[in-house]
Amino acid sequence: MSSTARRTLAAAGSVALLVSGCGGIVADDPTVNGTAGAAGSADSAAAAITVSSTDTECALSTDTTNSGTTTFSVVNDGGKITEFYLLGEDGLRIVGERENIAPGATADLVVSLQPGTYFTACKPGMRGANVGRAEFTVTGDPIEVSGENAELYDAAVADYVNFVKNEVAELQPKVDQLVAAYVAGEDEKARDLFPTTRIHYERIEPIAEALGVLDPRIDYREIDYLAEVEALEQDDPTFTQWLGFHRIEKDLWVPAEDALQPDGSNAWDGWEPSTPAQRSEIGAALRADVATLYDTVHAADFAADQGLDIATVANGASALLEEIAVSKVTGEEDWWSHTDLYDFQGNLQGAQIAFDLVAPIAQRTPEGRELVDTIATEFGALQGLLGQYGSLEDGFISYAEVDRDQQRELVDQIDATREPLSRLTATVLAS
């Protein structure tokens, strides 16, 4: 789970086709990934809008543009790793984002925008409230997709939505089992269930993260919750305490009294193991939130309400690889349980499925066939590398046993996969 603000894949009523991958730049990666590629680079360059992100501001060179392909060229002029968001009309749902931009680096977010009202914002430090939120207006005519492309796109989106529905349907009863063991104090059983339950959530993480405050309730780490507590309670007045999988995780793997959080703070500052009554409350909240997730994705108008489109599917693959790069491979996601390799596998499987659904569309051009072959090869290499540490069937080793050299090997292969994958959406839209 990324510690960014709540995401959306498209704002209802003002859908944006993301031309570049959702992912950003790992802080120690000097390259800039995810630019427009084959999809109208001349047009997007002409429409380039400069964004200057500092530790206190998020300044754009203009607050309006015409509908169609637009490039936001984000320059990190501050001293912290930053993120840039294009938000929907409600100011909450994220239409497009560029993550993990290192100080001094520049990264492009390329989008094909429908007319409407949006908002822009930055998040220096990648935690806490957004800064410099400002209204952004798109004028002009709506963008339409028709003919053969529309049929192919609709089929891929429908298949992806069915995949999401199935994963949530499998998640719900497993959450019930996990919560039952947790509430009953059967900690050993709950520890066994924890990583294999989460795998279904990890496969669909970009979709789940798009649904407002639901993902923070289900999957925020403690430090992420504390960094955004005021904004979260403003969005949901019932959200008055840290909840979800990671609250349960910390109770099941109680840290030593001198243990530190990923941000260096003491693990026991403002925290103590939950009482039986608190466990019941936390467990009930997780069950209710997952039930809401189930109802949301199974609603007849879910895809239309969320503006899910072919770019949603293609960018979902990139977003999941970014999740691995930013939180899983660092060991920060499952900080107390060290079950990160299960999450890694879930993200990888979700990315592979999204890729498989759009690959036939991308393959309609020679350049697309070459790109698809490259991505497939890199996916295979990444899965093979991960397989050295276990499997879902036999279990994965603790991530605490993966040394720095092995982590570096994983990072290198993730980067080798992310680079061609960042060009997938542009290739799909140009095919």
Query: Any idea what the CATH number is for the domain that residue 387 is in?
Result: 1.20.1420.20
Q: What angle do CA 425, 429, 431 make, to 5 degrees?
A: 115
Backbone angles phi, psi at 298, to 5 degrees: -90, 0
Question: For residue 105, what are the contacts with CB-CB under 8 A and spacing of at least 6?
Answer: 25, 30, 32, 75, 76
In a domain, 381, yes or no: yes
Look at 40-44, 225-229, 407-411 and tell me which has the smallest mean pLDDT: 40-44
pTM for the structure as a whole: 0.77
In a domain, 31, yes or no: no
- Pick the last residue of a domain from 93, 113, 139: 139
Of 199, 422, 430, 414, whose CA–CA distance to 317 is shortest? 422
Q: What angle do CA 7, 9, 10 make, to 5 degrees?
A: 110
**Beta carbons of 19 and 95 less than 8 angstroms apart:** no
Tens digits of residue pLDDT in 167-217: 999 999 999 999 999 999 999 999 999 999 999 999 999 999 889 899 999
Higher pLDDT, 35 or 200: 200
In a domain, 128, yes or no: yes
Same domain assignment for residues 217 and 359: yes
Cα(122)–Cα(76) distance, rounded to whole angstroms? 10
Residue 10 has pLDDT above 60, yes or no: no
Same domain assignment for residues 420 and 350: yes
Query: If you ran DSSP here, which 8-state letter would residue 212 be given?
Result: T
Tens digits of residue pLDDT in 63-114: 999 987 788 999 999 999 898 988 878 776 667 778 778 899 998 887 768 8
Same domain assignment for residues 250 and 279: yes
Same domain assignment for residues 153 and 270: yes
The domain in which residue 91 lies consists of 49-139
Domain count, the chain: 2
Question: For residue 385, what are the contacts with CB-CB under 8 A and spacing of at least 6?
Answer: 409, 410, 413
Q: Where are the beta strands (DSSP E) in 273-315?
A: none
